[in-house]
Structure 1
Amino acid sequence: VFIPPPPPTEDELFTQLRVARDAKLTATDKYLLPDYPISADALSAVKAYRQTLRDLPGQEGAPWDGGGELTPWPELPAVQGV
Structure 2
Amino acid sequence: MTDIGFVIATYYSGQGFYIDNNDYKTLRWYEDNTITKPTLEELTEKWDEHLAAQPLKELRTKRNKRLAECDWVLVPDTPLSQEKIDEWKVYRQALRDLPSLAEDPENPVWPVAPQ
- Looking at secondary structure, tell me which structure has more helix per residue: 2
Question: Identity over the aligned pairs, expressed in percent?
Answer: 35
Q: Give me the whole-angstrom Cα distance separating, in 1, the residues matched to 2:66 and 2:102.
A: 20
Hey, what does 1:71 align to over in structure 2? 108
What TM-score comes out, normalization by structure 1 length?
0.75
- Does residue 48 of structure 2 align to residue 11 of structure 1? no
CA contact (8 A) 1:21 1:53 kept: yes
**1:36-75 matched pairs, under 5 angstroms:** 36-63=78-105, 65=106, 70-75=107-112
- Which structure would you say has the larger RCO, counting Cα contacts within 8 Å and 6 or more residues apart? 1
Gaps of at least 5 residues in structure 2 are 1-49
CA-based RMSD of the aligned residues comes to: 1.4
Q: Give me the whole-angstrom Cα distance separating, in 2, the residues matched to 1:60 and 1:20.
A: 13
Moved beyond 2 Å, runs of 4+: none
Hey, what does 1:4 align to over in structure 2? none
Gaps of at least 5 residues in structure 1 are 1-7
Give the number of equivalent residue pairs: 66
**Higher Cα Rg: structure 1 or 2?**
2
Which amino acid counterpart does residue 69 of structure 2 have in structure 1?
A
